[in-house]
Structure formats: structure tokens, C-alpha cells
Structure 1
Amino acid sequence: MNTKYASDKSHGIIIRTYSKDAERLNLCLFSIAKYCRGFKEIVVVCPESSAEAIRSVVSIYPNVSLMLCQNYQNDMIGQQITKLNSHKYLTSDFIYHVDSDCYFSKNYTPDCNFENGLLKLYHREYEFFYKSGIRMPWQSITSRFLGQQVDFEFMSLFPLVYPRDLYIDLEKWFSEFHNLSYEAIENMVDAPWAFSEFNLMGAFSYYKALIDKPYHLHLNWRDFEPDKYLIQTCQDGATDRAISETEMEEITSLLGFTKSDM
């Protein structure tokens, strides 16, 4: 395992989406085309049931590939299972996760996520959120799936980036520890939101990595204010994914282009 950035390493972006986010996906891909450089591949993954709507968007961008995953009864869990399997959709050494409601607002390259040759990942103590009166359900959920107490929130900043080795090692560990595959997660949870793939990956990186072979350089954003390259919308988990004219004007203005540019 080697998490050090070098010019011979490859970098890829993955976006797991579905039909209701087609309009937002278009904005996301346009922002990637405008601001992102240095990526070997950009892959959009959606369930088979969303293929028609998503293919019409992806076809606009010649450097973007569409891949299909199975349909899930609970696609909130399904999209997380897809992300845990990202290494099966991309060939890159480092995999960058962007949601379709996230839009790049300034220039971004793989170098932005590395420091002293190591891939950065930010976290913060759960105590910080509790003292601030912020409801954070992920601690007990992640502790359950990791099999130990987890003290930090790792779902902190898009794009979230992980080395390819982490996906391979985590899948092996998960199978051995739970005696189940990822597909079983859908039946292990008692609510659609009762899992957090990014927290599981971050916690695995923090707690399970070998000292001499880290997956990430872990930084507490209490001490290291991270640079922000994206604007994230729909953070309240809204089910209405349509973009109003007002929201479209606000987003495109923040991103430095207009709807007519697209």
C-alpha cells in the first residue's frame, strides 16, 4: 500500500446519482469540466432504473463515463453500498467522491488534497457537535459497523478522497468481521439513514491502518482549517431535488458562469 502522491499515480472522480438528480448532475459535471484538471477518469454510476435520465446528461460530456449498478429497494443505502465498491467502477489509484448536488467553484487538481506527500482527511470530535447542540447520529452507527468506539466525525468535506487500497482492505475486513458482504447492509439497518459509508471509510482509515502504512494524513479541522473547493446544496436531505430558477441563478453566479454557458 502506498498513499504517497506521485506523478505516476492516477486519480479518478466518481459520482453516484439517480434520476431525480439529473439536473443537479448536469451542473456538477459542468463545474468539473470548468475547474478540474489532472483526473484520469470521471465516472457516473446510477441504478439501472435511472439509466435513461442520467445517460442523457452524461452524453453531453465526452470525458465522462456512465456505469450502471443494480436497483435497490432502499436506494439511500444502495448508493452507499455503491460508493464502498467504487474501486470496482474505477481503475484509479485515488478515488474522489463528489455528490451530484456538489459544484466546484474554483480550480482543483489532485495536489489540493495532498500534504507532505500524504492524502489529507479531516475529522472532528463528536463532543464538539454535542456541545454545539448539533444532532449527529453517526457515532453509534459507525461504532457498530466498525466494531469499536469511534470518537470522530469523518464526513467533513467534499471531495472525500481515499486510496484504492482502502476499499480493498475494508471490504476484506468487513467480510471477515461481520461474516457478511456489503449487500447485507440493506437488511442490517432499521432505518433508511442508519448507515454512513464515508464515516465507516474514514474510521477504518483512522483506527485500522498500520502505523507505517497510513491511508491518510488525518487532520482535525479544529487545528487545520481546510480549503473549500465546492459548494454543496441539499444538505438538509430534501426530497424535492428540482432546481428553481432562483436557485439556479444563485448557484451559477457563485460558480462563475450563467445557465446560458451550459
Structure 2
Amino acid sequence: MGSVDIVIRSHAKDFAWLRHCLAGVRRWCTGFRDVVVVVPRRCEHRLARYGIEADRIVLCSDYADDYLGQQVTKTLADTFTDADFIAHLDSDCVVRRPLTPADLVDDAGRPRLLYTPGEHFRRGAPWQAATERFLGRPVTCDYMRRQPLVYPRWIYPDLREHAVRRHGVELAEYIMAQPPLGFSEFNAMGAYAHERHRDAFAWTVHPSSTYDETWTRVFWSWSGITPAVEHELRVLGRAAARTEDKDAFADP
């Protein structure tokens, strides 16, 4: 299969979420080579305050608009790790059950990706228009269907080359020139892979507009950690602790 790293691009404003995300990774994820946390340089001094620890912490550029900046960083993920496959996990996602690289990459070395056909979502969603503008063709499916999202390292430079060929600028420059919600990194990657490298991936239709939360509970960081969310995070933590206790007393 090759090496698989979990890469989490975060920011100081999401470090409270990141603590829960990393706790879920420690509880449930096995077989991955490294957990790599990538944060802007200006956030480095706040890592210790939140007790953020990972196998590797990498500093990336600071961006005036970090919503677009974090998308730039993800399209450069192959420059932060030399892993054969990169499993992207967002700070506001908490792994909730055992997860291994074999869940993300099949025996033939193909990343497992979900997609949802157009009839399951509203036409004209911002991500759809943004992806069509970037690729220069109609896009009929949504490719951000679950976390983590895993891609082979070779697709990142391939996607960056597409930006130069079609738009005449580096991908980072293209992304930062977009309006708010004007780019969707994983829809761009998914749609590009589906069109150009379909046989290199294992595709599964997800016939629903809702996220597949088989492996992770997907929160929305912009809503903040409300009392209800905090309660749910505690429940997830207790459930994991109970599982660990049962394993500790299981017969060998």
C-alpha cells in the first residue's frame, strides 16, 4: 500500500476543535505513519497554550484570508510530507471508530472516494460553480462526502499543473484571487481525479446530500463549541474510554 500520513491543516481559531480531533486520532487511528499538523507561522506561539502535540508540526505561510489560505495549503500537502498517500482530516472532525489505512486505500493501492450525483443537491451551489470555473467544464457530482479524504501524492503536482495550463498562473495564486467561497479544494481534486484518473481510484456512490459519518463525526467550526456540541464531544470521549477499558480487560 505504501505510507499513509494524516494531515490536519488548522489555525489558532480552531485549536479548541483541534484538541478533540487529535484525541480522536490517538484513540482510534492505527497503522498510519505520522500525524502532521500544519498551521500558519503566526499561530505557532499558541500551540503550547492549547497543548497541541503531533508527530510533526509544520509551519506554513500566513494568509490574509485563511479560508482561501487553508485551501492553498491543502493543495500543497505533498510538500509537507513525503507519504505515498495523504489523508486529510479537518480540525472540526472527530474520529469515532477504529480507522486504518486499509479503510482508505484498497488492496490495489487505489484511494477509496465517495461522490454524490447532482440530483441529490441543489444546482448552483457555490462549490459547484467554483469547481466548474477552475476545471473549465460542467461538474455534476459532489466529492466532499466524508472525512478523512485520501489522495495519492502524485495528484497534487498534477492539479497544480492544470492551473498553469488552463489559467496561466500557479494554483496558489489562482486560489487567493478568488472571492469568498470561490474555490473548493476537495471538489476540485475529486472532480479532476474522476475525469482524468478514474481508474486510479476506487469510487463509491453516496446517494445522499448528508455527510457519510461512518468514521468521523463532522462538526462545523464556524458555529463554535456550543454547550450542546461540548456535551456531544464529551459523550464521544466517554464512549472511546469505555471501549478502551473493555479492550484492556479482554481475554488475550
Short-chain TM bin: 0.7 to 0.9
Identify the match of residue 113 of structure 2 among 118, 121, 138: 121
DSSP-derived class of the 1:31 partner? helix
- What is the CA-CA distance between 1:115 and the residue it aligns to? 3.8
Size of the aligned set, in residue pairs, is 238
> Which amino acid in structure 1 is aligned with residue 214 of structure 2?
K
Identify the match of residue 219 of structure 1 among 201, 204, 216: 204
1:251 matched to which residue of 2?
A: 233
Alignment root-mean-square deviation, CA: 2.4
1:29 aligns with 2:22: yes
- What is the CA-CA distance between 1:136 and the residue it aligns to? 2.6
Per the alignment, do residues 24 and 187 of structure 1 end up closer, same or farther by CA in structure 2, a change over 3 Å counting?
A: closer
Per the alignment, do residues 103 and 45 of structure 1 end up closer, same or farther by CA in structure 2, a change over 3 Å counting?
A: same
Any conservation in 2 of the 1:166–1:215 contact (CA below 8 Å)? Answer: no
Higher helix share: 2
Any conservation in 2 of the 1:67–1:89 contact (CA below 8 Å)? Answer: yes
Whole-angstrom distance in 2 between the partners of 1:187 and 1:101: 23
Within 5 Å, which residues of 2 pair with 1:108-187?
Answer: 108-115=99-106, 117=108, 118-130=110-122, 136-187=125-176
- What is the CA-CA distance between 1:215 and the residue it aligns to? 3.1
Deviations 1:7-66 (A, max 9, x none): xx000011111011111111111110110011111111111111111354465x3x5211
Whole-angstrom distance in 2 between the partners of 1:116 and 1:226: 22
Whole-angstrom distance in 1 between the partners of 2:151 and 2:50: 26
Deviations 1:104-135 (A, max 9, x none): 111100111234523211111122213xxx87
Any conservation in 2 of the 1:77–1:185 contact (CA below 8 Å)? Answer: no
Whole-angstrom distance in 1 between the partners of 2:193 and 2:137: 13
1:193 matched to which residue of 2?
A: 181
Whole-angstrom distance in 2 between the partners of 1:18 and 1:187: 17
* TM value normalised by structure 2: 0.86
* TM value normalised by structure 1: 0.83
Q: Which runs of 5+ in 2 are unaligned?
A: 245-252
1:232 matched to which residue of 2?
A: 218
- What is the CA-CA distance between 1:233 and the residue it aligns to? 0.9
